[in-house]
């Protein structure tokens, strides 16, 4: 897209995220390795001009919070397939509230 606009790709600052519609952190929660849904959502968001930070599978609550703060994301997407993942997602949401984080959490 940059080249089409006449912009040299080497001149773009990788830390400049102002051209994105928003920033989204995606993670499969601790205890789950199923990530196909997360991957599909990440691709769809990326195709719609969102910067997606995919931090992988089996991600602990502490890491999710750490990365949400580090990347200053607008939304956090939590993924999981197995039933215990739901409990982990609830725990993550409770920790967000406890720590005063205001980002919406997308559960899937």
| Residues annotated as part of the active site | 32, 34, 85
Instruction: Count Cβ atoms within 10 A of the Cβ of residue 93 and give its class: 0-12 exposed, 13-18 middle, 19 or more buried.
Output: middle
Whether 88 and 61 have beta carbons less than 8 Å apart is answered as yes
Instruction: Give helix 61-71 / helix 83-98 axis angle, nearest 10°.
Output: 50
């Amino acid at each position: 897209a940059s080249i089409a606009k006449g912009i040299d790709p080497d001149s773009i600052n990788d830390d400049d995220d102002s051209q994105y519609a928003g920033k989204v952190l995606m993670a499969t929660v601790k205890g789950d390795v199923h990530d196909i849904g997360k991957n599909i959502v990440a691709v769809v968001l990326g195709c719609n001009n969102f910067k997606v930070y995919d931090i992988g599978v089996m991600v602990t609550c502490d890491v999710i919070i750490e990365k949400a703060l580090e990347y200053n994301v607008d939304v956090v997407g939590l993924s999981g397939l197995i039933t215990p993942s739901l409990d982990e997602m609830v725990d993550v949401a409770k920790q967000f509230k406890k720590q005063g984080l205001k980002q919406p959490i997308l559960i899937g």
